[in-house]
Amino acid sequence: MQDAYLRATRCLDADHPRIRAFAREAVGGETDAVTCAVRLYYAVRDGLRYDPYGLELSAEGLQASGVLARGRGWCVAKAGVLAATARTVGIPARLGFADVRNHLATPRLLELMGTDVFYYHGYTELLLDGRWVKATPAFNIELCRKFGVRPLEFDGRTDAIFHPFDASGRRHMEYLRDRGARDDMPVEELREALARLYAGIADWPASGDFHAEAEKA
């Protein structure tokens, strides 16, 4: 069963040279799985900028090596990079999805979406010490500071999902619905669901600088 969570796929292309090089640099000479997972988490969280306007719903647009080359991505894309890099160092990994209500999105993003519900929010699940641990590498530390959100830390042993409150005590994010885990990127499912749930999704990727907007939010 674990083989399904270790193999390279079209989107989680763990065998791509770019993925291997990134993972090798992130983990250094470490061999302990928990330590490697933590190092990969921070490398993806802070090494790739969170960019919801860069949303692409094609196999090519969601391919981990391509996201890594662009240096930015939305939550699902970044979760894919973490899963692919984990697999390339021998850590079983899969993708998790949930619907969340995000109270700290920028006004422009909310206007484009037409809702404050983020459907199919993506995170990564890593099999460490015999149990699946959730890790959410979406918001890089620079963006967290601009939003006034506590950076989400990961120790490889406890689930790292978004805190319910930001650094000032305001509500940040609510989890509304668990959509389960997948061993590969569900491209067709994402495309169909988001086209149905977001009226303007056909016009994306959208232009804009989410980091600049966050400073004004």
**Residue 138: strand, helix, or coil:** coil
Q: How confident is the model at residue 117 (pLDDT cuts 50, 70, 90)?
A: very high
If one counts the domains in the chain, the total is 1
Question: What pLDDT score was predicted for residue 153?
Answer: 94
Question: What pLDDT score was predicted for residue 190?
Answer: 94
Cβ neighbors of 185 (< 8 A, separation 6 or more) are: 9, 10, 11, 12, 59, 62, 76, 80, 95
Q: What is the pTM of this model?
A: 0.94
Given a contact cutoff of 8 angstroms between Cβ atoms, the answer to whether 149 and 164 are in contact is: no
Distance of alpha carbon 94 from its chain centroid, rounded? Answer: 12
Encode pLDDT of 80-101 as tens digits. 999 999 999 999 999 999 999 8
Encode pLDDT of 13-61 as tens digits. 999 999 999 999 999 999 999 999 999 999 999 999 999 888 888 999 9
Is the pLDDT at 171 greater than 80, yes or no? no
Instruction: Give 165's DSSP letter.
Output: B
Question: What pLDDT score was predicted for residue 147?
Answer: 81
Name residue 72's beta-bridge partners: 49
Tokens of 65: 């090596």
Given a contact cutoff of 8 angstroms between Cβ atoms, the answer to whether 84 and 12 are in contact is: yes
Question: What pLDDT score was predicted for residue 210?
Answer: 84
Question: What pLDDT score was predicted for residue 199?
Answer: 74
Domain that holds residue 24: 2-216
Q: How confident is the model at residue 78 (pLDDT cuts 50, 70, 90)?
A: very high
Q: What does the mean pLDDT of the chain come to?
A: 90
CATH number of the domain at 127, please. Answer: 3.10.620.30
